[in-house]
Structure 1
Amino acid sequence: MIRERLMQRQVLLVIVAYHPSEEEVTRLSNCLAQLSPRIGYAVVSNDHRSGEPVEALRFGADCFLVNRNNPGYGRAINQVAASLPREGPLPELIGALNTDLAWQQGTFEKLLDWLLQHPDVSVAVPQLVDPQGVVQLLCKQNPTVLGLFSRRFIPEQLKPDWLKRYDQWYMMANRDYNSISEVPYLSGCCMLMRTKDFLAAGGFDDRFFLYLEDADITRSLGAYGRALHLPVASIIHHWGRGNHRSWKLTLVNFHSVWLYFSKWGWKVW
């Protein structure tokens, strides 16, 4: 960690990379280059291979960590948090970001300014939209067995009306996505967390390799302050639903489901 740079930062964005394409890295690099000095970034490259495109992000980064294996999303962010200096000022906020994001200049500055004025907020996620500008409905109720099973395994055309209504409730689909509101389960693709609360909570639970680590950290941080959907600014999310295409990732998802309910209690619906 470059201490001199870090002393300027009010936000440290932590980007977890897993073999992003050159196109994805270029898009992300262009956005990162527009950040003000108040906002820095760190990169963790999981399962890193020498010469891959993500290395282009090294030169502007406050920290660039390489994992030769893949420890998972939350654990990668914890690695950066563990490297923060134990003396001196820390960034007010730490961000958890995917590589499949893009934003307009000033976006994170706007989010930062709002959160500085609302210190009771422990975690927030901006408005997430697809490349066409359509709002992605990524706010959720706390996980339930039925909610997870329905969305993963039951085709929409086979669902009875009651289950469709349940899905709408679980996905908070009828809420106003243009208003600020408290949400039990925020998406981890672009999450801003109060650093002191993140450290007090112990960071991400290392047992979650992937999936539901965002549900878990939202719930953990909720003990320290509010968890908000914060549409004062928008982020473009080029979303890839990997676990719906890979049986290996589906098994990882099952493991995360088991961990989550074992920790927080089983809730069927």
Structure 2
Amino acid sequence: MIHTGEHASTPGGLSVSVVAYWPDPQQLARTLATLAQAIAELRSEAPMPVAVYLVDNGGLPDVSGSVANLERQGATCAVIAGQGNVGYGRGHNLAIDRAAGAFHLVLNPDIDLDPKALTEALAFFGAHPDAGLLAPLIGDDHDGIQYLCRRYPTVFDLFARGFLPARLRGLFARRLARYEMRDLINERDVVWDPPIISGCFMIFRTAVLKRLNGFDERYFLYFEDYDLSLRAHELARVVYVPAVHVQHHGGGAARKGYAHIRMFSASAFKFFGRFGWKWL
């Protein structure tokens, strides 16, 4: 049963928020199916309560089958709707405000989870009490790695990576590789304290996330994960854990049209205004 806007309690457990704005129905169904599988795997080893919040920023398709599947795995589900398109960060904050478990996962609707992803993440947290925010190994559609951990960007890095055609971007491959931490990120090694991690899959100790007051709602879309990552370092350690594996099907702002380029630019201006401008 879907409880629109109600509180789904997870004392001592895990909560998950997924913000959807006119998502691809088939991809969203895959995301929720792999999430259900990962929840089943997790609860088979540690039967904790799990709550899933689906935040409808607009265009949420019929998810009754996905919700029934999640509930069969022992999760409680709530759809948060009626707020309109309030933006990515603010949408997640609607769920974070309700989160009551020990851990909270911020999840994109274009992510497929490995069955062991949640089990590995919570096991790592259990073994490392100083870890407050965890990033996974993020695979692409071609069995490669998406290098979504970042060093602090310059304006040129963002422009070159996001907007230059591939033939010109290759001229700056070395520079961009450093920005993307390709010297450290791989399929084997845990990396402590990457400055910035991707918002497509961020799993927090909820206490840390609450102290940070969640996402900064001044960002409508883009850079809210950069902002939250940098602030998280003030309270706890951030860590990349390749044993936690997911697959990401998302694309860059430049490939999504002018509106996304405009939002990307506006958020970049807010980000650098807060944390400091680096041009070259």
TM norm structure 2? 0.85
Partner of 2:113: 103
Q: Residue type of the partner of 1:12?
A: S
Q: How many angstroms does 1:58 deviate by?
A: 4.3
Q: Give 1:266's aligned amino acid.
A: W
Does the CA contact (< 8 Å) of 2:150 and 2:194 recur in 1? yes
Deviation at 1:214, TM superposition (A): 0.7
After superposition, residues 88-237 of structure 1 pair within 5 angstroms as 90-158=100-168, 161=171, 163-178=172-187, 179-181=189-191, 182-237=193-248
Cα deviation, residue 157, structure 1 = 2.2
RMSD, aligned α-carbons: 2.1
Return the match for 1:6 from 4, 10, 28.
10
Aligned with 1:230: secondary structure?
strand
Tell which deviates more after alignment, 170-179 or 207-216. Answer: 170-179
Cα distance change, pair 176–257 in 1 and its aligned pair in 2 (3 A): closer
Deviation at 1:153, TM superposition (A): 2.7
Distance 1:113 1:183 in 2: 20
Amino acid at match of 1:77: H
Alpha carbons of 1:57 and 1:18: their partners in 2 closer, same or farther (altered >3 Å)? Answer: farther
C-alpha change, 1:158 and 1:44, in structure 2 (3 Å) is same
Q: 1:159 to 1:14 in 2, by over 3 A?
A: closer
% identical aligned pairs: 27
- Selected match of 1:248 from 224, 235, 259: 259
Residue 22 and residue 47 in structure 1: after superposition, are their counterparts in 2 closer, same or farther (change >3 A)?
closer
Cα 1:74–1:243 change in 2 (3 A) is farther
Going from structure 1 to structure 2, the CA distance change for 1:151 and 1:83 (only over 3 Å counts) comes to same
3-state SS of paired residue (1:167): helix
- CA–CA separation in structure 2 for the residues paired with 1:132 and 1:67: 38
Among 80, 83, 102, the alignment partner of 2:95 is: 80
TM-score by length of 1: 0.88
1:46-97 Cα distance to aligned partner (Å, 9 max, x none): 1246xx234544453432101452111111111112234xxxxx31211110
